[in-house]
């Protein structure tokens, strides 16, 4: 977890899509109740069809689960922007 002037960055995870493209996902908490999800892709959208379904069905639900875990652990509720 990184901290920069009240802003905290928390790595939610890394995922590899069926094509081999991969992403690291960070949750950036500004300390004021606003959060931002940042996806760092090797290639990124637009996706090939198999990657798009994997992203929607596997990656996004897992990212949201990990955001919820972060909020429960820290006791903070964040409004997220993508």
- Total residue count of the chain as it appears in this document: 82
pLDDT tens track for 1-42: 555 568 999 999 999 999 999 999 999 998 888 889 999 999
- pLDDT of 59 higher than 90: yes
Write out the H or E segment, with its range, that includes residue 78: none
Q: Is the pTM of this model over 0.75?
A: yes
Q: Which residue has the higher pLDDT, 62 or 80?
A: 62
What is the β-pairing status of strands 34-41 and 22-29?
antiparallel
**What pLDDT does 58 receive?**
96
Cβ 6 vs Cβ 31: under 8 Å: yes
Sign, CA dihedral 45-22-57-67, equals negative
């Amino acid at each position: 977890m990184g901290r920069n002037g009240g802003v905290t960055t928390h790595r939610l995870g890394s995922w590899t899509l069926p094509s081999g493209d991969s992403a690291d996902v960070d949750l950036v908490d500004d300390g004021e109740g606003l959060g931002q999800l940042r996806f760092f892709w090797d290639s990124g959208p637009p996706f090939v069809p198999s990657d798009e379904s994997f992203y929607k069905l596997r990656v996004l639900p897992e990212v949201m689960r990990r955001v919820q875990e972060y909020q429960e652990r820290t006791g903070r509720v964040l409004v997220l922007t993508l």
